[in-house]
Structure 1
C-alpha cells in the first residue's frame, strides 16, 4: 500500500520543469537579450503598420526634377498605388523591410542597452544625461546600420522597381530579395555595391537614433506620474510619437540622400551623383531646398504611429521576457 500511495503522490505532484527550460528562461530574461529580442519584434510590428506610407515616402524621395509620376498629394498617390498594384503595392518591399528591420531593430535596442550599461552608466540603472543618451543612441544606430545595410538598399530597389516611373525599365518578372542582392553584387561592383550610400545613411542614422532615444526617455519620464516607474500605454504611445517626429524632422535630408545614393546606378532615374556634397549641390540647384525634404509629409504621417507602435511593442515585449526570469526580477528602464 505504501508503495502504491507513494506512486500516486509522485504522479499527482506537478513535474519540475527541465533544467534546459529554466536555463532558456534565464538566458532570454537577461537585459541585453530581452532588449535584443524585443527590439526585433518592435521593428516588425512598427514597419508593417505603416508599410503603404513607407513605400510612398521612398517613391517621393527618389523622383528627380522634371518627373511628375508621383507629384501628387498623399491621398492621390496612395490611390494611384492601389489602382495600379492593389494591396500588393501597399506591401511592396515590406517583407524585405521586415527581414531587415528585425535584426536592425534588435541590434539597435540591444546595443543601446549594452553601451548604456557598460559604458555610460556609473551605477546600475543610473539616469543618463541628455548628451550621454544622444551619444549612446548614436553608437547604437551606427552599429545596427553596419550590420544590416545591404538589406536596406535591396528594400529600396524592391520598393521602386514596380512603380510607374516612365523612364524606369521594368523587368518582366520582378526579382525577389535574394535575386536582387545577387544581381547587384554581380553587375554593380561586388560588395561595395551593397553598401552604396552608407555614409549619408550613417550621417543621418546616428543623430536620428540618438535623438529618438534621448527624446523618448525624456518625454516618457515627463509623462510618468511621480512615484510611478511605468506609465500607461497611451503615455508610451505619445512619447514614442513625439520622439519619432522630432528625430525624423531634424535628420530627414540625410534620408533623402540615402535613397538617392541607393539607386544612383539605376538607369532612368535621372541622376548620377559623384559625392554627398555633389548630391546636395545638384538637388538644391535643380529642385530647391524642398528637394531635400521630398516625401516628408507621408513620412511624418507614418512616423507617429510607427514610432508609437515601435516603443510600445518594445517595452511590452521586453517586460514579458524579463518576467520569465525564474529566480528574481530584473528592473529595466
Structure 2
C-alpha cells in the first residue's frame, strides 16, 4: 500500500519526465514544431492567401472583379466584412498543421537517413541532398492533406464575386463535410478528392526543396561566420528570401493547381476546363499570355514571403525550446 502511495505521488513528475524525453526526440520535436509553425504563419497571412486564390481563379471567362492584391482584400472586406478576410482559414489551419508537420519531420528524417547511408566524414548534408529531402517532404505533405486543400479552395470562392458563381448575393459557404460529400458524390468518387494532385505535387515538391535547401544554406553560412543567426531578424530574413526564390520559380504550377481544384465547379463557368497538365499549361499561355501564368504572383509573394519567414522563426525557436526543456 505504501509503495502504491509513493508511486502515485511520484507519477506527475514521472509523466513530466517522459513528456520531456518524448518532446526532445528529433522526430517528435520536428513534427510538433512544424505543425505549430505552419498554423501560426498561415493565420498571419490569411487575407493574402484568399486574395491570391481569387486572383488565380479569374480565367478568361470571369468578370475580373478582383484586381490587385490590396484592392482585392479591400473588396473582400467591403462585401463580406472582416470574416471574409479569414474565409477558409480555420480549415486551412486544420489542413496546414499536419501538412507542415509532415513536411518538416520528413525533411529532417530524410537528411538523417542520407547521412547514415552515405559514407562521409561530415554529418552535414550536401545542398543536393537537402533539395531532395525537401522535395520528398513536400510530396509526403501533399499526399496526406490534399483533399482538405481541394475543399479549402472550393470554400474560398463560394462567397466571392467570380462571374456566375455568385450573382451579387453573398451565399453562405457549405461546410467542409458537405463539400467533401458533394465532390465525392457528384464528381467521381474518391478519385475526385485528389483532382489536381499531379500539378500540385509538381509545384510543391520543387518549391519545398528550394525553400528548405536555401534556408539551411543561409543558416549554415551564418553559423560559420561571425554573425549571430539566433537573432530573430536573421531567421525572418533567411526564411523570406528562400521562399521568395522558390515561389517565383514554381508559381505557374501553383496557378495550375488551384484551377484544377475548381475547374469542374458550375459547369466550367469560371472559363477553363483542362484535359491534362500539358493541355492546361498550353491553354493558359495561349489564351492569357505569359503573364496569365503569373496571375496573382504579387499576392502570392505577399503571402508566402512573410508566411515562411514566420514559419521558419517559429520552427527553429520551438525546436530549440524543446531541446533545452
Which TM-score applies when normalising by structure 2?
0.90
How far did residue 271 of structure 1 move?
1.4
Alpha-carbon distance change, 201 to 28 in structure 1, aligned in 2, over 3 angstroms: same
More helix by share: 2
Q: Please say if residues 134 and 213 of structure 1, whose CA atoms lie closer than 8 Å, have aligned partners that are also in contact.
A: yes
RMSD: 2.1
Structure 1: 5+ residue stretches without partners: 1-13, 325-333
Q: Which runs of 4+ in 1 moved over 6 A?
A: none
Residues 1:35 and 2:30 are matched in the alignment: yes
Larger radius of gyration: 1
Distance 2:121 2:318 in 1: 21
Residues 1:298 and 2:299 are matched in the alignment: yes
How far did residue 68 of structure 1 move?
3.3
How far did residue 72 of structure 1 move?
1.4
How far did residue 240 of structure 1 move?
0.2
Q: Is the partner of 2:113 in helix, strand or coil?
A: helix
Residues 1:143 and 2:140 are matched in the alignment: yes
Q: Is the partner of 1:269 in helix, strand or coil?
A: coil
> Number of residue pairs matched?
312
How far did residue 126 of structure 1 move?
1.8
Structure 2: 5+ residue stretches without partners: 1-8
Distance 2:149 2:76 in 1: 21
Q: Please say if residues 224 and 231 of structure 1, whose CA atoms lie closer than 8 Å, have aligned partners that are also in contact.
A: no
Paired position in structure 1 for 2:310? 309
CA deviation string 1:205-224 (max 9, x = no partner): 11000000111011222334
Paired position in structure 2 for 1:160? 157
How far did residue 39 of structure 1 move?
0.2
Alpha-carbon distance change, 58 to 26 in structure 1, aligned in 2, over 3 angstroms: same
Give matches, 1:215-226, under 5 Å: 215-224=214-223, 226=225
How far did residue 284 of structure 1 move?
1.2
Which TM-score applies when normalising by structure 1?
0.88
Q: Please say if residues 100 and 148 of structure 1, whose CA atoms lie closer than 8 Å, have aligned partners that are also in contact.
A: yes
Q: Please say if residues 225 and 231 of structure 1, whose CA atoms lie closer than 8 Å, have aligned partners that are also in contact.
A: no
How far did residue 273 of structure 1 move?
0.7
Paired position in structure 1 for 2:56? 61
Alpha-carbon distance change, 255 to 183 in structure 1, aligned in 2, over 3 angstroms: same
